[in-house]
Amino acid sequence: MISTNSKIYLAGHRGLLGAAINKQLQASGYQNVVTRTRAETDLRNQALVEQLFARERPEAVILSAARVAGQQAVSSQPGDYLQANLAIGLNVIDAARRWGVKKLVYVASPQAFQTDFNQFNDKDFASVKGIVAANMAMAMAKRSIATMCQAYAAQHGFDVTIAVPSYLYGPGESIEPSVAQIVPNLFNIIENARERGVQSVELPGQADEQQDFLYVDDAASALVKLLSAKTNADPVAIVSGQSTRLDQLAANIARLLRFEGELAFSEDEQAFMPYSDVDTSVMSSLGWKAKTSLSDGLQQAYHWWVEQRKKPVGFAGRAAA
């Protein structure tokens, strides 16, 4: 049983979600949290990962490390992102099992699953239905590692939880155009239009696309709760429970930026994977629910975005791993 005295290895502590998890672990009384920067231990390097586990012998692992970026970067370098994320997952999870880790929480992503990721164990698992083409390399890497978790659970009895937060946003996101995700990307595009004084701006995606957006601190609290929970190896959905259309999201951001022009949509591409209802029974049974409304979360994301814009080019935001 994992307790607040257990040694926890948090992989990816400097990323958007990892930083929030680290803060939540400390607030929850976990006193023995192990972290490593990429410069200290490159998780793509098997030998370095092996050295880390041999030295630290963690009792539990939260794997939130990943190489992530916006659609533009991923679609232009799919091989790099596929290789990096496969290597990170393979190295960390295999070392965790061999060094006797009692509990591993793997953070997957909604892009890794079909339109309805409750179908993850169905016979049509290999289908790529519902995955945005630009995200295919990232999605397949995440899906493969999730499959590895299930295989290790089945073969070795490895206690693993596959956590699947919905689309994350909040303080800590990179605002660099080449890697920005949907929320900071909309801030960037709409602010650029406002500064240029244009009366209309075209945004990527389809106006009626719907998705569940989850504030990063809410996701972190759910993941810390899962650390000490007993689950099976089926994916665990972590969602806000509030479906939001892309045009509604953009309108909220435009209000924060005081942009009064027209918001148009390209309509020839998807901004994200189609939304579907998911089974939230696991998190509900643990007494968890998201606390942050979209309007409050966007307000916090806006304050972060403003502060990052004051920094020199190349220093805005944090990397994911």
pLDDT given at position 8: 98
Place of tokens 């709760």: 225
C-alpha neighbours within 13 Å on the C-beta side of residue 219: 28
Contact (CB, 8 A) for 104 and 158 = yes
Neighbours of 3 (CB within 10 A): 12
Question: What pLDDT score does 221 carry?
Answer: 98
Distance, in Å, from the CA atom of 147 to the CA atom of 141, rounded to the nearest integer, reads: 10
pLDDT of amino acid 165: 93
Can you give the pLDDT at residue 311? Answer: 84
Amino acid letter, residue 312? P
163 has which bridge partners? 107, 236
In whole numbers, what is the pLDDT of the chain averaged over residues? 87
Distances (CA, A) of 255 to 22, 143, 207, 304: 32, 37, 17, 16
- For residue 315, the model assigns a pLDDT of 41
Angle CA 299–302–305, to nearest 5: 155
Each residue's pLDDT tens digit, 223-272: 999 999 989 888 899 999 988 999 999 999 999 999 999 999 987 777 77
Percentage with pLDDT > 90 across the chain: 67
Residue 213's pLDDT is what?
Answer: 95
Structure confidence by residue, pLDDT tens digits, 88-123: 999 999 999 999 999 999 999 876 664 444 444 433
Domains identified in the chain and CATH numbers? 8-166+216-239+277-291 (3.40.50.720)
Q: Which range has the worst mean pLDDT, 1-10, 11-20, 119-128, 159-168?
A: 119-128
Order of strands across the sheet that contains 60-63 = 33-34, 8-11, 60-63, 103-107, 160-165, 235-238
Per residue in 195-233, pLDDT (tens digit) is: 999 999 999 999 998 889 999 999 999 999 999 998 988
What's residue 236's pLDDT?
92
Give the model's pLDDT for residue 298: 98
